[in-house]
Amino acid sequence: MSAEKVPLQVPQLGEAEFARLQQLMLDASGIRLNAHKRTLVAGRLLRRLRALDLSGYSDYLRLLDQPEQQTERRLVIDLLTTNETFFFREPQHFRFLATWLQEQRRPLRVWSAACSSGEEAYSLAMLLAEHAGHDDWRILATDLSQRMLEKARAAIYPLADSHAFPPGWLQRHCLKGVGEQQGLFRIGTALRQRISVRELNLMRELPSDVPVCDLIFLRNVLIYFNAADKRAIVARLIERLRPGGLLFIGHAESVQGFDLPLKSLAPSILRRQ
């Protein structure tokens, strides 16, 4: 007769423990975890408790407090940051840009300021390759999550993710996987070489080597911050946006009332005065 299996006990994330995780996220990223996300936080971190053979969240917090656990603290930020993205998200932005680009004759510098796993930056690269009218353009792609940046650098995606590509763009700009890589595609070398992927925290002062840009994409980022932090982030970024340059934000976001030199051109598209 086999021994009866004892079900795994699911540890509970207490209020004090959740408060400490809220502070950790705020200090590291500026993101404020609302109280209603307590269950989500517990679920996402449970896998780390299991992997590290820890009995509860208090044990995990003690581990995070150790100076040598910088990698684990980064992992917490990765796990608790939402990174939903896809190619050509919010297509009206790309339609607007396709027309705008045809009128540009100057070198173009573009910044995907929360690039996640890279789909936004590579969507922009394909658009520039098709519509810029010249080849003097570069893209900076930044994010806080090391896990997402690794995916962006690899530039490998499921073939199903290309469903929003305009006709012919997959063939012109990407390589389809064969053999063990069947069902995947990779962004072509010509586009990957034009994109610099790096870690950057938008809540901190920007490094001096972030270039002055013609286009900045800051989409679906501001929703995670309070009003003061939103204004600080936008003000910081538009210091690197040339006069006449464009800032793109998410359709659910607003910079109204921030008293910044921005003029609305279309929903969620703003021009620096």
Residues belonging to the binding site are 83, 85, 89, 120, 143, 201-202, 219-220
**Catalytic pick among 143, 192, 214, 272:** 143
Please indicate whether residue 143 is annotated as part of the active site.
Answer: yes
Question: And the tokens for 269?
Answer: 């598209």
Q: Residue count of the chain, please give it.
A: 273
Please indicate whether residue 198 is annotated as part of the active site.
Answer: no
**Catalytic pick among 20, 27, 32, 44:** 44
Residue 234 and residue 268: Cα distance in Å, rounded?
A: 13
Q: Would you say the C-alpha torsion 36, 40, 41, 43 has a positive or negative sign?
A: positive
Residues flagged as binding site for S-adenosyl-L-methionine: 83, 85, 89, 120, 143, 201-202, 219-220
The residues annotated as belonging to the active site are: 44, 143
